[in-house]
Amino acid sequence: MFREIKFYKHYFIEFYLTLDQKEQEKVDYVFNIVRTLNQVPVKFLKHILDSERLYELRVSYGRIALRIFCCFDEGNIIILFNGFTKKKSKTPKTELDLAIKLMNQYFDEKRNKS
């Protein structure tokens, strides 16, 4: 199994560049797991909303919890949207709303290209 990871627009890259080197290494480690394992443990990839195709990549580094919203496209392609450092137990509504908006834009643009 090999999954391809793509970035939609600039949101994930901007988030990634705010991370220190060790945090970036941990994100890269989780990316490798998601790319290669047939069954990715919920510890690393969790479906967010039943009504949406949205998932979150879950990265833990010490006491730091990083979250990256994403979705699957064409089976083995993962599209990354926005990321954030989770500071409370509940996901911030603004981050979730942004992820849903970006996912909808992605699929709208894809449909319009066809």
Q: Tell me, what's the pLDDT at 89? A: 86
Here the CATH number for the domain that contains residue 55 is: 3.30.2310.20
Structural domain that includes position 16? 4-113
> How many C-alpha atoms does 103 have within 13 Å on its Cβ side?
24
Angle at 111 between CA 107 and CA 114, to 5 degrees: 145
Mean pLDDT for the stretch of residues 58-82: 95
pLDDT for the residue 88: 87
The pLDDT assigned to 87 comes to 87
Averaged pLDDT for residues 52-77: 94
CB under 8 Å, gap of 24 or more: what pairs does 102-106 form?
102/8, 102/9, 102/11, 102/69, 103/52, 103/53, 103/54, 103/69, 103/71, 103/79, 105/8, 106/8, 106/71, 106/73, 106/79, 106/81
The model carries a pTM of 0.93
Q: How many domains does the chain have?
A: 1
